[in-house]
Amino acid sequence: MTAQKKLEQNRLIRYPRFNELHEDILLCQEVTAQAGEPSCMVLEGVTGAGKSTLVKAYAANYPRYEAEDGTRIPIFYAETPSPVTVKGISSHLLAELGDPAAHRGTLQNMNARLIYYLRICEVQLVILDDFHHLIDSETNRILAKVSDWLKVLIKETGIPFLVVGIEDSVERILKANQQLSRLFAVREKLLPFSLSSEAEAKDFKRFLEFAQVKVDKRIQHGLSQDEFVSRMFFATEGVVANIMNLVRFAALLCEKRQEAVITLEVLDLAFNKRLQRHLDKPPNPFSTPLENILVGLSGESNQKTNQGHRRTRSVNEVLTK
């Protein structure tokens, strides 16, 4: 493992759901080995939930290596190109595998080489990230030829695939191709943190603690723990990328100001610099009166409920128990 990859691994926060999904991926590999048929998996989630980080971390546990008779790639990670065509994705995967002639030959020839390389490299799992690219961004149509091609590839290689994409997009692709859908028995989601139960609120609190350890800066907020959690949840919507973006930038500001701890003032500044425009929220989540924060959380809860997401209970309802 390179020094850069080691650094990335050290920055990871392996929270409970992260570890659970790694176990689910491993189980797919084990079931495939025992049953002799590919046990494939879907992982969906909102943008910033940490899907790519999670699957890249899994792949990093099984790095490619050189054996006496060639390269071995136990876990093959690749991103789905955009725009995607059958020939385009085939050549892209060949290039990622190391084929020097990745972009040459007929489609039939390229497919044959792809199957060959997957076998001789002893690939045990293929991870296809950004699988939502199978929905054409201009026409909103599912690229049926690509999904059919993938179905055939999985059946011919017998290798399980993990496809990763934006929430509900992968499900839509699979519903349009029942034969492909049948291969993906395991359907998982990586959701943002929630305050919908005491257990989930506890997980969010623990993640905030881990985040402070990773940036090597404590947050000195001077609030009750419940109020601090409410404000952090309002500021980040429980999305991992938002949390880390906020805390890392706040830690950087502290370094520049030569301050030992992250204060509410610094968090407020970091939010306005890094998240406010992206999330389209009113500014000052760390100085707005608490009752306004709770009203904002209640409004987000109702909106998510109407969209079919999990309901976020009242912060007071959960945190004061």
Among residues 126, 114, 138, the alpha carbon closest in space to that of 163 is found at: 126
Write out the residue limits of the CATH 3.40.50.300 domain(s) in the chain.
3-189
CB contact set of 63 (below 8 Å; sequence gap of 6+): 1, 5, 74
Instruction: Give the pLDDT confidence of 140-183 residue by residue, as tens digits.
Output: 999 999 999 999 999 999 999 999 999 999 999 999 999 999 99
What percent of the chain shows pLDDT beyond 70? 88
Instruction: Give the pLDDT confidence of 258-314 residue by residue, as tens digits.
Output: 999 999 999 999 999 999 988 887 777 888 887 877 776 665 555 554 444 444 444
Q: Judging by DSSP bridges, how do beta strands 75-79 and 161-166 pair with one another? A: unpaired
Three-state secondary structure along 124-191? CEEEEECHHHHECCCCCCECHHHHHHHHHHHHHHCCCEEEEEECCHHHHHHHCCHHHHHHCCEEEECC
Q: What is the pLDDT of residue 301?
A: 52
Phi then psi dihedrals of residue 220, to 5 deg: -105, 95
- CATH architecture of the domain with residue range 3-189: 3-Layer(aba) Sandwich (3.40)
Contact (Cβ atoms closer than 8 angstroms) between residue 40 and residue 155: no
* CA–CA–CA angle 28, 79, 62 (5° rounding): 45
Q: Could you give the CA distance from residue 69 to residue 194 in angstroms, rounded to a whole number? A: 49
Tokens of 105: 């030959």
Instruction: Give the pLDDT confidence of 240-271 residue by residue, as tens digits.
Output: 999 999 999 999 999 999 999 999 999 999 99
Distances in whole angstroms, Cα of residue 238 to Cα of each of 70, 94, 209, 250: 44, 38, 14, 17
pTM: 0.87
